[in-house]
Amino acid sequence: MNTLTVNLHLMMVSFYRPNSERFKIIMEAGAFPSDQYAVETQVRWHGYDPAEAIVEVAPRPGEALLHTEDILAAIEQHGAQTALVLFAGLNYYTGQVYDMPAITAAGHRVGAYVGFDLAHAAGNVPLHLHDWGVDFAVWCTYKYINSGPGAPSGAFVHAKHGNNNQIPRFAGWWGHNEERRFLMEKGFDPIPGAAGWQLSNAPILAYAPMRASHDLFLEAGMPALRAKSENLTAYLEFLIDSLNTDKRRFDIITPRDPAQRGAQLSFLTGPAGKQLFDYLTQNGVICDWREHNLPGEKGEKAGVIRIAPTPMYNSFEDVWRFADLLAKANV
């Protein structure tokens, strides 16, 4: 339903209900900008100051990745004042998969709700949201789920909340009891589960590629896709590492542990990164370039190239061809 940022706002209406004692949101530093804007404006809308209410967990100096123990320590430290813990499942920039079960358990220990933005995790890494006890999650379907920009987003609400029709929410007719929807009567009666958070009737044309993609996922199965994904990414890692010489380095910042990453490697490029990205694009590689510096990134104006060998449609040969282009790059 809707798009990701809309769903994030809808979920925060239900799961970020601050009061003078509990008003903080703990999140990762450098979260995707739309999430930052959503959080900042929710905090302001409730009358709190983002500088006080938003706690960002940052990498240690000189590092790119977050330590789980630092996330858990922040939750512990701000626990009594924390209303919501909100993290990505997989950080879009570094490719790091956060320890969702540990973060969820820590958030619940201090009495906070815990939600995840799974934009880069859905269709990419194994997820067991119900078993982990996650309160809510949102994701878009135009990355690994192949639906195209602006296609409908997803939302998960844990059954312990989904069946509670008293939970505050912003409602619309598409979330109302399906049997009675067209009776046009007063009194909102939510459909149990996340479906009860739907607002409007469905964009059927935009659902078509999503449906086709879901059919392919069901046919291939996540375990097979994940197995190929781990191998493809490991092969890419091996090839990139083998290009490093005394003169030239492609420093991979994505975790080396396959359990802590999906189908993505991000590597630092140094000053000529944008030219390298343009050369790759001109040679038919669709990857991504970010100027943005993490604290401690090397080199003047260092940037990051993100490359995602997607198991649904990328082959080992594609990965080899990419590394071959990288080896031949003149920049």
Interaction site with ligand PLP (CB under 6 A): 3-5, 32, 34-35, 88, 92, 117, 119-120, 140, 153
Provide the minimum distance between the beta carbon of 40 and ligand PLP in the complex, in angstroms, as a whole number.
Answer: 14
Assess contact for 83 and 55: CB atoms under 8 A: no
Nearer to ligand PLP, 35 or 99 (CB): 35
- CB burial string 263-276: b at 16+ within 10 A, e below: bbbbbbbbeebeeb
Nearer to ligand PLP, 140 or 308 (CB): 140
Q: Is 97 helix (H, G, I), strand (E, B) or coil?
A: strand
Which amino acid would we find at residue 41? T
Provide the minimum distance between the beta carbon of 138 and ligand PLP in the complex, in angstroms, as a whole number.
Answer: 8
Which segments within the chain are labelled E, that is strand? 24-28, 54-57, 82-88, 113-117, 136-139, 154-157, 251-252, 265-268, 288-290, 304-307
Provide the minimum distance between the beta carbon of 3 and ligand PLP in the complex, in angstroms, as a whole number.
Answer: 3
Nearer to ligand PLP, 194 or 323 (CB): 194
Provide the minimum distance between the beta carbon of 82 and ligand PLP in the complex, in angstroms, as a whole number.
Answer: 21
Nearer to ligand PLP, 26 or 119 (CB): 119
Provide the minimum distance between the beta carbon of 35 and ligand PLP in the complex, in angstroms, as a whole number.
Answer: 5
Nearer to ligand PLP, 91 or 233 (CB): 91
Nearer to ligand PLP, 118 or 240 (CB): 118
Nearer to ligand PLP, 99 or 117 (CB): 117
Structural tokens at position 248: 């030239």
Q: Which residues contact 185 (CB under 8 A, 6 or more apart)?
A: none
Q: 76, 71, 17, 24: which is closest to 50 by C-alpha?
A: 24
DSSP for 22-55? S-EEEEETT--HHHHHHHHHHHHHTT--HHHHEE
Structural tokens at position 160: 């312990």
Nearer to ligand PLP, 48 or 116 (CB): 116
Provide the minimum distance between the beta carbon of 149 and ligand PLP in the complex, in angstroms, as a whole number.
Answer: 8
Assess contact for 16 and 83: CB atoms under 8 A: yes
- Residue 211 phi, psi (nearest 5): -65, -45
Q: Is 242 helix (H, G, I), strand (E, B) or coil?
A: helix
